[in-house]
Amino acid sequence: MDEKTERILKDRLKEDDFQKLEKIENSELHQFIAEYIDICNPESIFVCNDSPEDKDYIRQAAINNGEEIKLAMEGHTVHYDGYFDQARDKKRTKFLVPDGVDLGPNINAINKNEGKKEIHDIMKDIMKGHELYIRFFTLGPSNSEFAIPCVQLTDSSYVSHSEHLLYRPGYEEFIRQGKDARFFRFVHSEGELDERNTSKNIDKRRVYIDTEDGIVYTMNTQYGGNTIGLKKLAMRLAIHRASKEGWLTEHMFVMGVHGPNNRVSYFTGAFPSLCGKTSTSMVDGETIVGDDIAYLRKRDKKVYAVNVEKGMFGIIMGVNSKDDPMIWKRLHIPQEIIFSNVLLKGDKTVHWIDKDGEVPEKGINHSGDWFNGKKDDDGNEITPSHRNARFTISLDTLENIDPKIDDPEGCLVSGIIYGGRDSDTWAPVVQSFDWTHGIINKASSLESETTAATLGQEGVRKFCLMSNLDFISIPLGKYIQNNLDFGNNLDNPPLIFSVNYFLKGKDRNFLNEKVDKYVWLKWMELIANNEVDAIKTPIGYIPKYEDLKRLFKEVLNTDYMKEAYDEQFLIRIPELLAKIERIENIYKTKVPDTPDILFNKISEERERLIKAKEEFGEYITPDKW
């Protein structure tokens, strides 16, 4: 390391912490750490080398400094973010771009020099009086072509503890890669704290992302989506890198679906929030590799995927013993878990929205002392837990963990699923004609409806490109083209499916039960292995009634009626044509670099639907094909 770097590190670190850094032969890493120690000016510094003692130090620090509160059950703690710091700050999340670079109208950006000056001004002495925790992690399995080393600088013991549960240890990977490590960097400070140990200067909350240099800066916030750098913030860095190198970073679960004769076929799936993503990856009887972010690479003309993480930062609202038995069981055993923004009861247990049992009359939550009927300054009732309350666990504590979770080779992908909340258009499960049809007419046409419970007005359709719109760090047209190109030169590429768990009938009641997804998964596994046939329609291939009838009996022990099948798999031409109109308009008006093939493919689907309408009418049952 150079003289200035060595002087800063030796002056500010204890000898054993300095030696931990010195073992990593990477001068760029040392310079980065020294620069931000100098700018942020922490009171003390702790370097974690992933030893049990070092990890326990951070766990205890979270308790000692009040960022987490111990609960009655061993290993359980609860953390609170500030009342106005409960979600990703989209407005103040910006990409730092050099002069002359334009990421397009859909991406929030700021000039790199201007943004870096602003963030450095905010960061000056921001850690004064705080302890800085320096952590090393790996995105993807260690010692693998998927692995990306990461260094996290944070003065929040809660953030550091969370990342310990969510990510694979990386200290040894940094030593292994040495000077060749191409690592991501994250600097976070919770800033000045209030009397509840929550970030005080929310007006100076910033999340700035430098994709060229692979750095994320996040200040004056504690909420995990803004601070746990290796999650969606690192995802933006990885999308940028993947675009240059020919692989994919996607907002997808990875799961094993179990077929006949002990066969396991691996599927990835992309769903917007509250559309069934985690519940699908946790279906009883199948195995989970990951529930949120996947890297996909090609090898030997096949597609392989890994879970970027090793933990789960899950929304807890609505989790109950009936609908989520695996998660429910995990939340009630004495294994390490961090609850955030739930209701803390007097007996040191917690409650959340729609948990089994009665709603307590009082407790402590993200608003402070809480009582049933409490309202905020605007007269809105404050729920016992926040609607975005979370739980953080390590996946290896789940009973249904798949043995391939840390396989450096990844999982061979048989199918890719795209799903959203759709009351009247898409059928429950449809296979695309081919890779291009799937990427354009399923993935790039994904919409999801809002719910009154979470976003105010019910039924508002939101465009959500591949369930990744909020995190894309390159022009949208380029992102679509990358996905199209990824399908080139593949032997038997993964099948692409659309799913919809939220279809409603004329009476506005759901046509599907929550557990029906068990059957759709089994059917997708069978067709991916050429064990069932399908019916060709203008929008793709749908299941045959006989196959679903058998699967409903085998999987759920229920009788599946022909009337239900006909209504669920009805081809709703007016709604499908209206959807095409909406999607086409979005790309014509908001995505200036849209590939021409997208307009061609959606026009072809429109023509197929119009032709079918002329022959069969506006609403077509499966027996017509």
Angle between helices 27-40 and 112-123 (to 10 degrees): 60
CA distance 610 to 512: 28
Element (H, E) at 339: strand 337-340
Tell me the pLDDT band of 455, cut-offs 50, 70 and 90: very low
Q: Higher-confidence residue: 56 or 453? A: 56
pLDDT exceeds 80 at position 453: no
Could you say which DSSP state residue 408 is in?
Answer: T
CA distance 539 to 433: 8
The per-residue pLDDT for range 375-399, each reduced to its tens digit, is: 999 999 999 999 999 999 999 999 9
- Is 224 in contact with 165 (CB distance < 8 Å)? no
- Is 255 in contact with 292 (CB distance < 8 Å)? no
CA torsion angle 541 544 545 549 (round to 10) = -110
What DSSP letter does each residue of 440-461 carry, written as one string? IIIITT-EEE--HHHHSSTT-E
The per-residue pLDDT for range 218-267, each reduced to its tens digit, is: 999 999 989 998 999 999 999 999 999 999 999 999 999 999 999 999 99
Alpha helices in 266-364 (DSSP H): 277-281, 325-330
The per-residue pLDDT for range 497-518, each reduced to its tens digit, is: 999 999 999 899 999 998 999 9
- Is 211 in contact with 236 (CB distance < 8 Å)? yes
CA distance 246 to 623: 42
pLDDT exceeds 90 at position 459: no
CA atoms within 13 A on the CB side of 593: 14
Average pLDDT over residues 280-293: 95
pLDDT exceeds 70 at position 520: yes
CA distance 531 to 265: 13
CA distance 227 to 543: 43
Residues near 400 by beta carbon (within 8 Å), at least 6 away in sequence:
282, 284, 286, 287, 288, 326
Active site residues: 275
- Which pTM was predicted? 0.94
3-class SS at 322? Answer: coil
CA distance 338 to 163: 11
The residue to which tokens 């000898």 are assigned: 15
The two beta strands, 534-537 and 540-543, are antiparallel
The residue to which tokens 């700018």 are assigned: 39
CA distance 500 to 426: 6
- Is 360 in contact with 345 (CB distance < 8 Å)? yes
Q: Which residues pair with 296 in a beta bridge?
A: 248, 305
pLDDT at 97: 92
Domains delineated in the chain: 3-65+91-246 (3.40.449.10), 249-310+404-624 (3.90.228.20), 313-397 (2.170.8.10)
Average pLDDT over residues 276-302: 95
CA distance 239 to 474: 8
Average pLDDT over residues 556-584: 98
pLDDT at 450: 79
Tell me the pLDDT band of 269, cut-offs 50, 70 and 90: very high
pLDDT at 457: 62
Tell me the pLDDT band of 163, cut-offs 50, 70 and 90: very high
pLDDT at 246: 97
Count of CB atoms situated within 10 Å of the CB of 603:
12
Q: Higher-confidence residue: 103 or 596? A: 596
- Is 233 in contact with 209 (CB distance < 8 Å)? yes
The per-residue pLDDT for range 113-150, each reduced to its tens digit, is: 999 999 999 999 999 999 999 999 999 999 999 999 99
CA distance 463 to 447: 4
CA distance 512 to 500: 9
Residues near 76 by beta carbon (within 8 Å), at least 6 away in sequence:
70, 334, 336, 337, 339
CA distance 527 to 382: 47
Residues near 411 by beta carbon (within 8 Å), at least 6 away in sequence:
254, 256, 266, 289, 304, 305, 306, 402, 404
Residues in the chain: 625
Amino acid, res. 213:
D
> How far does Cα 456 stand from its chain's mean position?
23
CA distance 393 to 548: 35
CA distance 423 to 440: 21
CA 492 vs CA 256, 521, 530: distances in Å: 19, 19, 11
Share of the chain above pLDDT 90, in %: 91
Long-range contacts, stretch 18-26, CB < 8 angstroms, 24+ apart: 20/47, 20/49, 20/171, 21/47, 21/134, 23/175, 24/171, 24/174, 24/175, 24/178, 25/175, 25/178, 25/179, 26/174, 26/177, 26/178, 26/179, 26/181, 26/183
Average pLDDT of every residue of the chain: 95
- Is 384 in contact with 343 (CB distance < 8 Å)? yes
pLDDT at 178: 94
Q: Which tokens belong to 373?
A: 């009927």
The two beta strands, 248-250 and 264-270, are unpaired
Share of the chain above pLDDT 70, in %: 99
Element (H, E) at 70: strand 69-70
